[in-house]
Amino acid sequence: MAMWKNDDEMFALMKEKLYTPVVGDILDQMGYKHQFLPASIRPLAAQVPTVPYILPGETEDKRLRLAGYACTVLENDVYEYQAQKPFGYMTEALDDLKPNEIYIATGAHNSALWGELLTACGKTNAGSGSSGSMSGSSTSSAQTQTAAWKTGLGVVTEATDQDRAGKIELAAAAVLLDGEGKLESVLLDELEVSVSADSTGHVTLPTDWRTKRQKGDDYPLAEVSSLKKGWAEQADAFASYLIGMTPEQVSMLKVDKDGKPTDADLLSGCTIAVDRYRDAVTRACANARALGAARGDRAALGIEAMNGTSDITATDDKDVNAQVDVSIVALTTDADRRVTSAIADMAEPALTVVSDGGVTAPDLVKTKLELGEDYGMRGASALGKEWYEHSEGFCDALKGKTRTEIAGLSGGDADLKALCTIDITDLQKAALDALS
């Protein structure tokens, strides 16, 4: 006689009576030899107990258990989308989610596989709302997600070329999302690099690698602005305008053909083109994760740029890659200016110069975090880690520290080397920039 009458009873019994090794042994005996999921597929950290599973004087095993049929979803990072469908098919995937199914998503390297939007959709979906489909208990993942404050970093890089000249424009945004998924804090910056070449293939590179925010009054916008305001003042006005918005509201922000805002209230404080900053904020929101930030924290952003070009004259046998190496760190800090969360990224945009001085810009520039596993560092790493994992180790080392303590960090520290073996010099400078 069957011990259960339906799937609900079966999965309830599995969670009560079985545990993973036993299930694995049973499947082995049935001939299923590749039944375990990759280690990267695991419960959210917030749902994994930090106390012993069974507390003294108690009998309840507090380990999170999920049991159900797998609903597998393959996602991909998309950076160019139509405004009328900004989230693609993500929400539509929930239409196939049935009771007692567990939503398992993979594929995207630099976007959220599950967040507030899918949680909101899932709450109205019969499958995702069923017992055990997302959380495995009476406490839903929606509750966990809603309570989390999230830190995000977004980078948008555009490269252009014209005759014997080219330009790289990199906009970065650090954001803090509150427990409702709305923008609580935003900070923007932008790096602009211009390169030219002559008919002999000789390349002229910039001598100033500072960002627009770092240049301050040296970036002469105020004197030509109708508002008589500098770049930082206008960028901060745009950031303030976004506070309280949802990521979708930011993504739908209208601009004119020159990328400038159309809203009258925003134009009173900001007349510069904001389309690239809007997209950077949107991307930062999509990337945002719960990393330790909380109510009262503020977002901070630091960028460290340097010349990454080795040769400055192109020949028939060798082109010049006019490259800038950019290290970007987004932080959140508490009232004592201690770091509560951090995200670190790097970009290496380059313009190609040929022997007659012609300049060609790349169609797409991805950061190292965006490249994810495609960056290809894992095999060469002494720790067997990809670059993004080294970055996470570096960021873990920043938490709880002040600017002075971060300045004292050394890549040779044993504790740091256990987490991260990449060169942290420029990332450390970027973190210090963020805290200056």
CA distances from 219 to 222, 236, 301, 312, 349 (A): 8, 15, 19, 26, 22
The count of other CB atoms within 10 Å of the CB of residue 194 is 14
- Of 128-132, 222-226, 401-405, the range with the lowest mean pLDDT is 128-132
- Of 18-22, 289-293, 421-425, the range with the lowest mean pLDDT is 18-22
Nearest to 299 by CA among 337, 327, 333, 329: 333
Cα–Cα dist 308/311, whole Å: 10
Concatenating the DSSP letter of every residue in 126-142 gives: TTTTSTTSSSSSSS-HH
**What pLDDT, on a 0 to 100 scale, did the predictor assign at position 138?**
34
**What pLDDT, on a 0 to 100 scale, did the predictor assign at position 184?**
97
**What pLDDT, on a 0 to 100 scale, did the predictor assign at position 29?**
82
Concatenating the DSSP letter of every residue in 3-24 gives: S-SSHHHHHHHHHHH--HHHHH
pLDDT band at 28 (very low <50, low <70, confident <90, very high): confident
Nearest to 181 by CA among 241, 248, 91: 248
CB under 8 A, 24+ apart: contacts of 56-59: none
Tell me if residue 217 falls in helix, strand or coil: helix
> Mind listing the pLDDT tens digit for each residue in 318-348?
999 999 999 999 999 999 999 999 999 999 9
Backbone angles phi and psi of 156, in degrees to 5:
-125, 120
Cα–Cα dist 386/393, whole Å: 11
Residue 111 amino acid letter: S
Q: Position of tokens 């977004």?
A: 154
The domain ranges of the chain are: 37-147, 150-435
**What pLDDT, on a 0 to 100 scale, did the predictor assign at position 277?**
97
Concatenating the DSSP letter of every residue in 15-82 gives: HHH--HHHHHHHHHHTT----PPPTT----GGGS-SS-SS-TT----------SEEEEEE-----S--
- Average pLDDT (119-142) is 44
Q: Are 247 and 278 in contact (CB under 8 A)?
A: no
> Mind listing the pLDDT tens digit for each residue in 89-112?
666 677 667 778 887 777 766 666
